[in-house]
Amino acid sequence: MSDDLTTLHDDGVLEIPVSLETGGNALDRGAILAGTDALHRVMRGNLKARAVLLTGKGKNFCAGGNVSDFASADDRREFLRGLAHDLNTFLSALYATQLPTVAAVNGWAAGAGMSIALHADFAVGGQTTRLRPAYPGIGLSPDGGMSWLLPRIVGLGRARTILMRDEALDAETALDLGLLSEIAEDDSLVSSRARELAAELSNGPTGAYAAIRHLLMTSSSNTLAEQLTAEAESIADLAVTGEGVEGVDAFLAKRIPDFPSARS
Ligand SMILES: CCCCCCCCCCCCC/C=C/C(=O)SCCNC(=O)CCNC(=O)[C@H](O)C(C)(C)COP(=O)(O)OP(=O)(O)OC[C@H]1O[C@@H](n2cnc3c(N)ncnc32)[C@H](O)[C@@H]1OP(=O)(O)O
């Protein structure tokens, strides 16, 4: 399936561009709308995806919201409020599909572009990849979940300095901080490496990936006792899924598990 913007590849990877070459690689409203629609179709079972690949079309992954649009809005408060809620709809759909997500972070990920990259389970960068909050640079505060995700990845203190100093983080720093999961050997390899990783995940136990992400994302608000209970319920639930049965059976039969067939 492919429309002008999103593509479902034969191996189950749903590719969603978050920015286009126009507008300085700012978030593209049409692309996010198409991506949200595709994710909703996955949730309804009308689209058989097994992994999501977020990309940027052009030299940057995403430069955040289109600042020119902000300036031209009649009511800037309501306009930005609406955009932020629209972005939240996209991000909520990303989690609701319960699919592993890879971001191909070429060039800059700034503003909401950095926020989106933080939501990916795996963010593949290149030698010149840089992440920058950008919000304070134009007198704004973060959106897209950055103030929730960033402190949980790097710690509250470091998150505060990154945000309040609007730090531009180079690839190595972002990798050290856990904001990138790997750096491709060359900028030209970011897209192909991210695509390859998404294909690997698409062939894996996507139900287990989703459970792992849910357990990790909820752990910070759970007590240890609550988390122990959540883990016990999760492993029990997965044990009787197609993938859970296939994983155990394949191990005992000393063969490679066929998770995609077990899930479908
Ligand atoms: C139900 C679904 C509904 C779908 C709808 C969804 C809506 C989606 C939108 C959601 C938005 C939510 C709110 C978001 C808020 C933010 O993100 S606020 C932060 C905004 N971003 C910025 O402030 C970053 C600004 N850009 C930069 O800092 C730098 O450009 C860069 C990203 C660090 C890259 O630098 P560099 O490579 O040096 O390029 P430049 O020369 O700076 O830029 C090239 C040209 O592109 C223009 N440009 C760059 N970024 C933007 C931008 N964000 N908006 C508009 N234009 C931008 C820049 O002006 C240059 O233009 P020219 O001078 O004409 O070449």
Among residues 147, 10, 143, the alpha carbon closest in space to that of 64 is found at: 143
Q: What is the pLDDT of residue 21?
A: 83
Which tens digit of pLDDT belongs to each residue from 108-127? 999 999 999 999 999 999 99
Count of alpha carbons within 13 angstroms of residue 264, beta-carbon side: 14
Mutation choice for ligand 1 from 108, 118, 128, 131, CB with most ligand atoms inside 8 A? 108
Taking CA 12 as the corner, what is the angle to CA 86 and CA 88, rounded to the nearest 5 degrees?
A: 10
Instruction: List beta partners, residue 7.
Output: 2, 15
ipTM of the complex: 0.95
Mutation choice for ligand 1 from 16, 21, 25, CB with most ligand atoms inside 8 A? 25
Ligand 1 pocket at CB < 6 A: 23-24, 26-27, 29, 32-33, 36, 60, 63-68, 80, 83-84, 86-87, 89-90, 108, 110-112, 132, 134-135, 137-138, 140, 143
Q: What is the pLDDT of residue 24?
A: 81
**Low-confidence residues in the chain, pLDDT < 70:** 1-4, 264
- b/e string for 77-106 if b means 16 or more Cβ within 10 A? eebbeebeeebeebbebbeebebbbbbbbb
Q: Round to whole Å and give the CA distance between 32 and 91.
A: 10
Query: Is the CB of residue 99 less than 8 Å from the CB of residue 14?
Result: yes
Q: What is the pLDDT of residue 22?
A: 77
- Atom 61 (ligand 1) nearest CA: 24
Which tens digit of pLDDT belongs to each residue from 173-224? 999 999 999 999 999 999 999 999 999 999 999 999 999 999 999 999 999 9
Q: What domains can be seen in the chain, in order of their start residue?
A: 7-202 (3.90.226.10), 206-263 (1.10.12.10)
Mutation choice for ligand 1 from 20, 67, 105, 119, CB with most ligand atoms inside 8 A? 67
Q: Which two tokens stand for residue 91?
A: 């991000």
Q: Round to whole Å and give the CA distance between 264 and 187.
A: 36
Q: What is the pLDDT of residue 1?
A: 58
